[in-house]
Structure 1
Amino acid sequence: MRKVYAHRGASGYAFENTLRAFEKAIGLGADGIETDVQLTKDGVPVIIHDADLYRVTGTRRFITELTLEEVRKLRIGRNRWKRLLGKPAMTVTEFFEWARLSGSPALNIELKETFLDRPEAVAKVVNAAKGYPDIHFSSFHYPLLMRVKQEDPGAETALIATKKTRWDNLGMYGSADGFHIHKRLWSGKYLGAIERDGKFARVYGVDGTEPFIPKPEAFIRGWITDYPDTVKKAMQKGS
């Protein structure tokens, strides 16, 4: 069954990577949640997309400059008024606790760039996920997926591919079980390369209006979207 992952939670309806966005995703019937993990100065994995905190907190600092205690003092939101009522970023441990209490939706954990300088910290995320029933790890950074496999050879991984990916030799990404591609890469060139390599793919950036959603190629395993409800409806047209 192809699954619909709510991108940073249902971020088309609530501010990204917040408890409200995650709860909204569940309420809209998403099969899973995609979220992002960065590292604090003291090496704590937290749920946030940007290393530069200005866009999501209004603070002109990088997350690697702040300890968890300092990050806790910041509020996440779209603007200064919403931040007054916002909550601090969740730790990975808190996120997994919430997910388990919320019916254990499928999870797509994206490892972000702050892990590149401290790849050993990948173990903290992998260990926190141990025993979770449906989870995979994704990243733009292939070395981080290699690290996931070192920590847990059985963990599922997906490389977030771009036009710069070695499409002529996808076999070189042996630690990637599959690929995540933006809908802009939906073409014979890229899809054919994935199929020839015998891997699966998930597609992100979709909103439910794409003509390929009702009847995609067999190796397409799911969709990653800000609008899980509209993508769910689009899928039903192909049934």
Structure 2
Amino acid sequence: MKKVLNIGHRGAKGHEPENTLPSFQKALDLNADGIELDVHVCKTGELIVIHDFNVDRTTNGSGAVSELSLSEIKALQINNEIEIPTLVEVIDLVGKKCFINIELKGRHTAKPVSDLIEKYILEKEYSYEDFIVSSFQREELEMLFTINPRIHLGVLSQASVAQALEWANAFSAKAIHPHFSLLTEHNVQKAQEQGFKVYTWTINETEDIERIKSYNVNGIITDFPERI
């Protein structure tokens, strides 16, 4: 059986608060092959690493990310001690120790993410292999493909492997990212035969991990990177 990459979900969400620098550092400490994170654009234009469209669930504040400035977001706290990071801060922490899976969660994230990846490639000797950009949102994937077709894309799906493959073909994606409940040995093989990698999410239970690994997926997104 080939090696299955372990990709830390929002860092190492099973150990540290999600989408925080301590969580990403923990994933690195656990030898993650990649980290997955979510981005939104805040009111002042910076890319903010947070899952939800608002800050209510994870911080001591409230409000939509898109309506808060960077300084307002930085004034908030997670667990009374941790700041919400920017994407720049996360990339600088991770360096080239593993690849970074950037999920376009908020609207209008495609162009700023493309611009930032290009900046790291041109100015800091990163490569396109250091990043994969994923989304459930067709319009964001389409926009990114139009802006820069060299950026590696991953098509997220909670509904259908067939739909993920359709979009992946439309946007020359490198991978599909289906929920693990959608996978069979046959559809994994079919996707790989079409030239796509299969990175599945979010698997935490050992029994599920072993079953999905037996399908020869390329990578597993998990809250516990050490379990893969």
TM-score of the superposed pair, with normalisation by structure 1: 0.81
| 8 Å CA contact 1:96, 1:129 repeated in 2 | no
What is the match of residue 67 of structure 2?
A: 65
In structure 1, the partner of 2:5 is 3
The aligned runs of 1:1-239 (5 Å cut-off) are 1-76=3-78, 82-83=79-80, 85-86=81-82, 88-100=83-95, 103-115=96-108, 119-130=110-121, 131-133=125-127, 134-163=130-159, 167=163, 170=166, 173-175=169-171, 176-187=173-184, 190-191=187-188, 194-195=191-192, 197-207=194-204, 208-210=206-208, 211-217=210-216, 220-231=217-228
Question: Which amino acid in 1 is paired with 2:86?
Answer: T
CA distance in 2, matches of 1:168, 1:9: 24
How far the C-alpha of 1:193 sits from its partner, in A, is 5.4
> Unaligned regions of 5+ residues in structure 2, if any?
none
Quick one: structure 1 residues 95 and 140, their matched pair in 2 at CA, closer, same or farther if it must change by over 3 Å?
same
Question: Bigger shift: 188-197 or 61-70?
Answer: 188-197
- Secondary structure of residue in 1 paired with 2:57: helix
Residues 81-114 of structure 1: per-residue CA shift (max 9 Å, x gap): x22x22x2111112111111xx521111111123
User: Contact 1:126–1:152 at 8 Å: present in 2 too?
Assistant: no
Superposed CA deviations along residues 132-171 of structure 1, whole A, max 9, x for unmatched, are 3422111111222222223332221101012157539726
Greater CA drift, 137-146 or 205-214: 205-214
Amino acid at match of 1:132: Y
> What is the total number of aligned residue pairs between the two structures?
218
Q: 1:226 to 1:113 in 2, by over 3 A?
A: same
Distance of 1:205 and 1:121 partners within structure 2:
26
CA contact (8 A) 1:7 1:224 kept: yes
Residues 31 and 119 (structure 1), Cα distance of their counterparts in 2 relative to 1, 3 Å cut: closer
Identity of matched residues, % = 27
Alignment check: 8 A CA contact 2:39 2:103 kept:
yes
Pair 1:202–1:168, CA change in 2 (3 A): closer
Q: Which amino acid is the alignment partner of residue 43 of structure 1?
A: G
The range that moved more, 188-197 or 4-13, is: 188-197
Amino acid at match of 1:64: S
| Secondary structure, aligned partner of 1:209 | helix
Q: Measure the CA separation in 2 of the matches of 1:14 and 1:167.
A: 33
Q: Give the CA RMSD over aligned residues.
A: 2.4
Please give the alpha-carbon distance, in whole angstroms, between the structure 2 residues aligned to 1:129 and 1:142.
Answer: 25
The gaps in structure 1 that reach 5 residues or longer are 77-81, 232-239
Q: 2:8 corresponds to which letter in structure 1?
A: A
